[in-house]
Structure 1
Amino acid sequence: MKIVLDRPRCEGHGLCEEAAPELMHLDDEGELVLDREELGDADLAAAGAAVRVCPVAALRLA
Structure 2
Amino acid sequence: MTARELRVDWPECRARGLCHEVLPDLIDLDEWGYPIVRGPVTPDLMSEARVAVRTCPRLALRIVDAR
Q: Could you state the TM-score of these two structures normalised by the residue count of structure 2?
A: 0.82
Unaligned runs of 5+ residues in structure 1 are: none
Partner-residue secondary structure (3-state), 2:41: coil
Counting aligned pairs with the same residue, the percent is 34
Moved over 3 A (4+): none
Q: 1:20 aligns with which of 15, 20, 23?
A: 23
Unaligned runs of 5+ residues in structure 2 are: none
Q: Could you state the TM-score of these two structures normalised by the residue count of structure 1?
A: 0.87
Deviation at 1:12, TM superposition (A): 0.6
Please give the root-mean-square deviation of Cα atoms over the aligned residues, in Å.
Answer: 1.0
- In our comparison, the structure showing a higher alpha carbon Rg is 2
Q: Which amino acid aligns with 1:57?
A: L
Question: Are the aligned partners of 2:17 and 2:34 in contact in 1 as well (CA < 8 Å)?
Answer: no
More strand by share: 2
Deviation at 1:2, TM superposition (A): 1.5
Q: Does 1:32 align with 2:45?
A: no
Q: d(CA) in 2 for partners of 1:30 and 1:20?
A: 14
Question: Are the aligned partners of 2:28 and 2:36 in contact in 1 as well (CA < 8 Å)?
Answer: yes
CA deviations 1:6-54 (Å, max 9, x no partner) are 1111101111110000111211122211112x22111101111110100
